[in-house]
């Protein structure tokens, strides 16, 4: 089974600041994924500049396999020195790992990374290195399917200081919290959001420090094929459906006409549900052999709204979906479960929809914007038009 | 007898939800839940005259056609349905078909 890496993070800004003093940078280079979380000294613009520089430099250098000594030396020489404090300083955590789960983690002055393995939060074995006079900790990574590596800025362990928790939120307590609130099925994005949201609660919505949680997760590849709308020429219906059905992975059909075409092709009955888990979203339907059947453009519009929230790094709503309407079910499959998404888009104009807020141009735009958001989530997306 | 309410995009925007909920309560009110099965349908091909409702499987009873009520091969096609007129159509057109 092919494994894939996914990354995600959530940031809370120091109260009153427009910029976050923490910065996360990630890149994919062949088999390797590199993620850097840096926390700049202070808060606001200065901190933001320090952490942005640090994370960009580290991410570029590490992803190109340059030795950590050289990377750190470069940062020390590059960072601007703060006039007030006379130092140039930004902490960092670097994860560099390939699709087989092998790689390493380097940490400098951030809270220790947490290893979520087999449903339990634990420590990494760390080795102390002296890099240009700084104590940098190195851990070997040998990740297995479902494992998550979580790195964070110190806003997490400082949560609640002087407010509801006298001494902040100790790492041990954070790990206990994760034991109870994460599960094996959660995406990296969802897991990071769980911890950041908890910190925000402890800060009572007013963080006194920039707080960022980033996660890298290794998981199995899952392809999802989505058919949206019938082809322009009716004669292409069969070919279009055949191509949609031949790929591996989950099959999703969006749209009334499309579902009728697929049901006819499969010689199965199309059974629409009468249940409205959400009044604004038309009911889903069932076809034997198809994993999810929904209405088209109204459902997609809601899905796009959900995707906008999902990709926002400051949005704290949970990143998993328990509602049973078509849009939420689609969101769970596409945002949380998929790694590769293939859209089969038919551009036929539904004359009944012309002039309504649901016409074909609208639908094509929705699919494009949705594809862009899915790419931001790290999914590989293909679009095939008929 | 089967009543199929269209829940496609177009009819949804015109108020399928209200029609479905009204039918659900009418089946209870007139105590015909064991005689009429309520279903949903994706696009009955009558989008411009929605909300569309198909009535099927009721024998060969005579029906007075109108702008709103049309005879089809499968049974009846009701057009322009909404939350307000559903009970009237139900009492005037659908209930008599059961006898």
Which is it for strands B53-56 and A90-98: parallel, antiparallel or unpaired?
A: unpaired
Helices (H), chain A: 45-63, 68-78, 171-181, 188-202, 237-246, 256-266, 297-311, 326-331, 360-376
Cα separations (Å) of A46 from A42, A92, B52? 7, 16, 62
Greater pLDDT, A324 or A87: A324
Does residue A179 sit in the same domain as residue A273? no
Does residue A7 sit in the same domain as residue A52? yes
Does residue A245 sit in the same domain as residue A201? no
Q: Residue B63 sits in which domain range?
A: 2-98
Does residue A215 sit in the same domain as residue A105? yes
* Residue with token string 């940062």: A75
Does residue A200 sit in the same domain as residue A232? no
Q: Tell whether A348 lies on the interface with B, counting CB pairs under 8 A.
A: no
Q: Which of A169, A202, A220 is the last residue of a domain?
A: A220
pLDDT over 70, % of chain B = 100
Residue A101 CB-half CA count within 13 A = 16
Nearest to A352 among B10, B12, B20 (CB): B10
Q: Residue A25 sits in which domain range?
A: 3-220
Q: Which of A167, A200, A220 is the last residue of a domain?
A: A220
- When pLDDT is averaged across residues A292-320 and rounded to a whole number, the result is 94
Q: Which two tokens stand for residue A271?
A: 């059974």
Cβ contact, residue pair A282, B9, below 8 Å: yes
Does residue A93 sit in the same domain as residue A213? yes
Distance from CA of A272 to the nearest CA of B (A): 5
Q: SS3 sequence, B55-91?
A: EECCCCCCCCCCCCEEECCCEEEECCCCCCCHHHHHH
- Contacts of A238 by beta carbon, 8 Å cutoff, 6+ apart: A265
Does residue A168 sit in the same domain as residue A317? no
Does residue A94 sit in the same domain as residue A164? yes
pLDDT per position as a tens digit, A100-135: 999 999 999 999 999 999 999 999 999 999 988 888
Does residue A249 sit in the same domain as residue A203? no
Interatomic CA distance for residues A190 and A187, integer angstroms: 5
- When pLDDT is averaged across residues B4-20 and rounded to a whole number, the result is 94
pLDDT for position A207: 93
Cβ contact, residue pair B10, A358, below 8 Å: yes
Q: Tell whether B25 lies on the interface with A, counting CB pairs under 8 A.
A: no
Considering only A37-46, A56-65, A209-218, A370-379, which range has the smallest mean pLDDT? A37-46
Considering only A81-85, A239-243, B39-43, B53-57, which range has the smallest mean pLDDT? A81-85
Does residue A118 sit in the same domain as residue A243? no
Does residue A155 sit in the same domain as residue A204? yes
Q: Tell whether B43 lies on the interface with A, counting CB pairs under 8 A.
A: yes
Q: What is the CATH number of the domain that holds B32?
A: 3.40.30.10
Residues of chain B with Cβ-Cβ distance to A272 below 8 Å are 7, 39-42
Domains in chain A, number: 2
Q: What is the CATH number of the domain that holds A146?
A: 3.60.40.10
Task: Name beta bridge partners: A10.
Answer: A213
Does residue A174 sit in the same domain as residue A191? yes
Domains in chain B, number: 1
Q: Tell whether A353 lies on the interface with B, counting CB pairs under 8 A.
A: yes
pLDDT reading at A298 higher than 90? yes
Q: Tell whether A296 lies on the interface with B, counting CB pairs under 8 A.
A: yes
pLDDT for position A333: 97
């Amino acid at each position: 089974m092919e494994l894939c890496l996914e990354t995600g993070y959530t940031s809370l800004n120091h109260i009153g600041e427009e910029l976050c003093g923490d910065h996360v940078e990630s890149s994919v280079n062949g088999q390797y994924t590199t993620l850097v979380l840096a926390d700049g000294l202070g808060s606001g613009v200065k901190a933001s500049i320090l952490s942005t520089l640090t994370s960009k430099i580290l991410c570029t250098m590490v992803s190109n396999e340059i030795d950590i000594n050289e990377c750190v030396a470069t940062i020390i020489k590059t960072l601007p020195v703060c006039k007030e404090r006379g130092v140039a300083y930004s902490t960092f955590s670097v994860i560099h790992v390939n699709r087989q789960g092998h790689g390493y983690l380097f940490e400098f002055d951030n809270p220790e990374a947490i290893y979520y393995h087999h449903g339990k939060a634990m420590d990494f074995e760390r080795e102390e290195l002296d890099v240009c006079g700084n104590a940098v900790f190195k851990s070997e990574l040998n990740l297995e399917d479902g494992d998550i590596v979580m790195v964070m800025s110190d806003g997490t362990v400082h949560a609640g200081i002087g407010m509801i928790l006298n001494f902040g939120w100790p790492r041990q307590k954070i790990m206990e919290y994760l034991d109870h609130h994460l599960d094996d099925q959660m995406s990296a994005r969802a897991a990071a959001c769980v911890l950041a949201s908890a910190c925000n609660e402890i800060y009572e919505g007013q963080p006194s420090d920039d707080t960022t949680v980033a996660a890298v997760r290794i998981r199995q590849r899952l392809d999802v094929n989505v058919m949206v709308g019938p082809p322009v020429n009716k004669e292409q219906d069969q070919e279009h459906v055949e191509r949609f059905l031949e790929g591996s992975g989950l099959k999703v059909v969006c749209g009334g006409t499309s579902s009728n075409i697929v049901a006819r092709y499969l010689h199965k009955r199309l059974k629409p549900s009468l249940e409205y888990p959400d009044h604004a979203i038309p009911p889903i339907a069932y076809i034997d052999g198809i994993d999810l059947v929904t209405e088209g453009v109204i459902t997609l519009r809601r899905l796009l709204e959900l995707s906008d929230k999902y990709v926002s790094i400051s949005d704290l709503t949970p990143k998993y979906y328990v509602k049973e309407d078509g849009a939420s079910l689609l969101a769970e499959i596409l945002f949380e479960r998929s790694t590769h998404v293939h859209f089969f888009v038919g551009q036929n104009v539904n004359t009944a929809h012309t002039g309504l807020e649901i016409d074909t141009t609208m639908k094509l735009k929705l699919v494009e914007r949705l594809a862009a958001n899915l790419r931001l989530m790290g999914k590989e997306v293909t679009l095939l038009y008929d | 007898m089967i009543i199929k309410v269209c829940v496609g995009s177009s009819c949804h925007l015109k108020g399928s939800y209200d029609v479905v909920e009204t039918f659900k309560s009418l089946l209870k009110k007139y105590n015909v839940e064991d005689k009429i099965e309520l279903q949903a349908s994706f696009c009955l091909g009558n989008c411009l005259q929605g909300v569309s409702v198909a009535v099927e499987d009721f024998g060969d009873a005579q029906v007075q056609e109108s702008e709103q009520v049309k005879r089809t091969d499968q049974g009846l096609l009701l057009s322009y349905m909404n939350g307000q007129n559903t009970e009237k159509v139900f009492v005037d057109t659908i209930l008599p078909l059961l006898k």
